Amino acid sequence: MKTRIVLIAAVTLALLAAGCGGEAPGSSGRPEVVAGFYPLAFAAQEVGGDGVEVANLTPAGAEPHDVELSPRDVERIRSADLVLYVGGGFQPALAEAAAGADGSAVDVLDAVDVREENGTVDPHVWLDPVRFAQVVERIGAELGGEAPARQLASQLRALDGEYREGLADCERRELVTAHDAFGYLGDLYGLEVIPIAGLAPEVEPTPRDLEEIAGLVEDRGVTTVFVEPLLSPEIGETVAREAGVETAVLNPLEGLTEEELDRGENYLTVMRSNLEALRAGLGCR
């Protein structure tokens, strides 16, 4: 208990020093962290614990690419002690608002080596447990919570070990996904990612694109097309139907639904569910 009290005090002092001249921010009187979407809110809450107030700007069940900031959101960003966001065009309105924040604003892509796809930065670093561990450690440094950050980072590196073991021996290594969210994961575990849509899921493929991917699925012996819980499954189902294969859910963790949160699901449990879905879809032993 004494260690926890010391940590909370350290977090509070660190954020107040970086924030608004020592005034207590947030309605609760605790230092306020504003996160762009679920994985960053999860990490901030795990690291800061009861010592911080974490606000997720993306509502449960919403796709973060589609979120529009209200005037109240912009004011909350401006007044927060710490703003956590993903750059690379993932949530451009948030990145723009964060530039005017009175407190600290952190683009977590700065904490890792990023990959590019056709000259565009891939923002989906949280789907790589090793890179996400680096993001967590950066958040820990910002919050003055290095110890809980190390603990969560250790869990993420253990998750990496589970993925390496679980995906080591598979019949197939082609991963057909609804949109191009799994490039980091594919690079880390030796999977060939074949996305139906690009890095931004709102840019829909043409009928010719769908026909070509369906042909590729047939030619390569793919048995599963992975769809996402927050996007319409229609495009993935079209490819699967044309190729005569099945669909399964692979969650890019851009947000959890209220039902998932009520069940106690979190980043770690969903990533393990993803691993089981991958093992089934790729025929892993």
Same domain, 81 and 222: no
pLDDT band at 18 (very low <50, low <70, confident <90, very high): very low
Same domain, 156 and 171: no
Whether pTM exceeds 0.85: yes
Tell me the mean pLDDT in the region 191-201.
93
Same domain, 32 and 57: yes
Q: pLDDT over 90 for what percent of the chain? A: 85
Instruction: Give the end of a domain, one of 119, 136, 162.
Output: 162
* 200-249 per-position pLDDT tens digit: 887 889 999 999 999 999 999 999 999 999 999 999 999 999 999 999 99
pLDDT tops 80 at residue 61: yes
Same domain, 43 and 145: yes
Whole-number Å distance between alpha carbons of 51 and 45: 9
**CATH number of the domain bearing residue 207:** 3.40.50.1980
Same domain, 122 and 210: no
Same domain, 46 and 158: yes
* 64-105 per-position pLDDT tens digit: 987 899 999 999 999 999 999 999 999 999 999 999 999 999
- Report the pLDDT value the prediction gives residue 261, as an integer from 0 to 100: 96
Rounded to the nearest integer, the mean pLDDT of the chain is 91
Q: Output DSSP code: residue 66.
A: G
pLDDT band at 28 (very low <50, low <70, confident <90, very high): low
- Report the pLDDT value the prediction gives residue 7, as an integer from 0 to 100: 40
- Report the pLDDT value the prediction gives residue 27, as an integer from 0 to 100: 57
Same domain, 102 and 121: yes
Same domain, 189 and 145: no
Whole-number Å distance between alpha carbons of 45 and 54: 6
Contacts of 86 (CB under 8 A, 6+ apart): 36, 37, 40, 107, 108, 109, 123, 125, 126
Same domain, 231 and 187: yes
Contacts of 91 (CB under 8 A, 6+ apart): 36, 37, 64, 65, 67, 85
Angle between helices 2-18 and 146-166 (to 10 degrees): 100
21 vs 169, residue with greater confidence: 169
- Report the pLDDT value the prediction gives residue 117, as an integer from 0 to 100: 87
Instruction: Give the end of a domain, one of 117, 146, 162.
Output: 162
Same domain, 189 and 150: no
- Provide the domain limits for residue 260: 167-282
Instruction: Give the end of a domain, one of 129, 162, 195.
Output: 162
Same domain, 156 and 178: no
| Total domains, the chain | 2
C-alpha to C-alpha distances, 205 to 28, 142, 151, 248, nearest whole angstrom: 45, 40, 41, 20
Same domain, 139 and 179: no
- Report the pLDDT value the prediction gives residue 2, as an integer from 0 to 100: 38
Query: End-to-end distance of the chain based on CA atoms, in angstroms?
Result: 44
